[in-house]
Amino acid sequence: GESVGLHLPTLSVQEGDNSIINCAYSNSASDYFIWYKQESGKGPQFIIDIRSNMDKRQGQRVTVLLNKTVKHLSLQIAATQPGDSAVYFCASGGRRALTFGSGTRLQVQP
Amino acid sequence: EAEVAQSPRYKITEKSQAVAFWCDPISGHATLYWYRQILGQGPELLVQFQDESVVDDSQLPKDRFSAERLKGVDSTLKIQPAELGDSAMYLCASSFGHPIRSTDTQYFGPGTRLTVL
């Protein structure tokens, strides 16, 4: 079956530093990947997505990198702010609905 | 900005009681999803609709859970009877709508936090 996993459950960074959140996936058939941010008590909020025909995509302060060779996905957040503190989920999709990982908690230290 | 609406936001019930959750997707979104999220974990799909039809309910515990989207717009998820292990966040999401491939961005509602006592 398809599984999506995250390397670290908690990431602590200083305000202003860059954050990198990593994710591994197992299903080679996955062709769509997405990152969500979830604050406590709220639903997941879309951040950025990428299709398998790309290896990099940039948004506002965020960049997603996809390495299909090693089935690895990362989310980079530039100049991390206190408002970025949340749980971040990667998810992958293909022929079925999204499969989510268990999440990485990002803590931003002032 | 269009959003997915869910109600209620919180629900406390006793085991063996019936509960129902409602979702109104973003206008024009043909695909609607119900997910369950246990605390500390990622969301897991329960059921997926394309318009009014179920396209995936393989993970829905059909002995106690039911879902419908009669007119292809809003949807209701019901649990009867509720069990202690059903305590979780129930999330609704919608996307523009390809019935099989999940390449359309899914937008989530705020969720319903269910506590079963």
How deeply is B52 buried, as exposed, middle or buried, from its count of CB atoms within 10 A (0-12, 13-18, 19+)? middle
Report the C-alpha gap between B93 and B112 in whole angstroms: 12
Rg of chain B, C-alpha, whole Å: 13
Look at residue A17 in the predicted model and tell me its pLDDT.
97
CATH of B5-110, one of 3.40.1410.10, 3.90.1150.10, 3.30.300.30, 2.60.40.10: 2.60.40.10
Look at residue A69 in the predicted model and tell me its pLDDT.
93
pLDDT digits (tens, 9 = 90+) for A55-87: 999 999 999 999 999 999 999 999 999 999 999
- A37 interfaces chain B, CB cutoff of 8 Å: no
- The class level of CATH for A4-109 reads mainly beta
Of A59, A64, A57, A107, which is closest to residue A84 (Cα–Cα)? A107
pLDDT digits (tens, 9 = 90+) for B10-25: 999 999 999 999 999 9
Q: Do B101 and A32 touch (CB under 8 A)?
A: yes
Report the C-alpha gap between A45 and B5 in whole angstroms: 14
Domain ranges in chain A are 4-109
- On the question of pLDDT at A20 being above 80, the answer is yes
Q: CA-nearest residue of chain A to B40?
A: A102
pLDDT digits (tens, 9 = 90+) for B46-82: 999 999 999 999 999 999 999 999 898 999 999 999 9
- On the question of pLDDT at A2 being above 50, the answer is no
Domain ranges in chain B are 5-110
